[in-house]
């Protein structure tokens, strides 16, 4: 139970803003659990923004990029805005090479920039 909780640390970084640092390998079971816990946190905290931190992702494949887009879509269905941060150069090249549409995604270089933007939109900064 502890290992599962640590592998999906949804963190409320500010009122209405949660983040999920993504690390390691993603299989179907982990993605399902991660999505469920994240969506529960969005409802519980009434989050308006969900920041997915990809800093810990060194390699991304088609399945993982698809999972990320599905998570952002599910977050949107709950009325929150999904934000991606920490996309490394090689991950960016892979996403573009896979033809992943990034036009509708909010992207920031790091967690700090995303947090400031979310807070600014809420009139807090």
76 lies in some domain: yes
The overall pTM is greater than 0.95: no
| Mean pLDDT to the nearest integer, 67-77 | 91
Instruction: Please indicate, yes or no, if residue 22 is contained in any of the structural domains.
Output: yes
Alpha helices in 18-123 (DSSP H): 28-45, 62-77, 89-97, 111-121
The CATH number covering residue 48 comes to 3.30.750.24
Query: Does 44 or 65 have the greater pLDDT score?
Result: 44
Instruction: Let me know if residue 122 belongs to a domain.
Output: no
More confident residue, 95 or 115: 115
**Percentage above 70 pLDDT, the chain:** 92
Mean pLDDT of the chain: 87
Q: List Cβ neighbours of 23 (8 Å cut-off, separation of 6 or more).
A: 7, 56, 57
Mean pLDDT calculated for residue range 43-50? 97
Q: Quick check: 42 pLDDT over 90?
A: yes
């Amino acid at each position: 139970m502890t290992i599962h909780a640590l592998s999906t640390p949804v963190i409320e970084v500010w009122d209405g803003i949660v983040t999920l640092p993504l690390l390691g390998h993603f299989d179907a079971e982990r993605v399902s659990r991660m999505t469920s816990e994240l969506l529960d946190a969005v409802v519980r905290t009434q989050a308006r923004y969900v920041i997915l931190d990809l800093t810990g992702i060194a390699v991304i494949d088609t399945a993982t990029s698809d999972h990320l887009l599905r998570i952002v879509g599910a977050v949107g269905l709950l009325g929150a805005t999904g934000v991606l941060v920490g996309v490394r150069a090689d991950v960016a090249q892979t996403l573009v090479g896979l033809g992943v549409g990034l036009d509708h995604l909010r992207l920031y270089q790091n967690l700090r920039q995303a947090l400031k933007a979310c807070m600014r939109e809420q009139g807090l900064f």
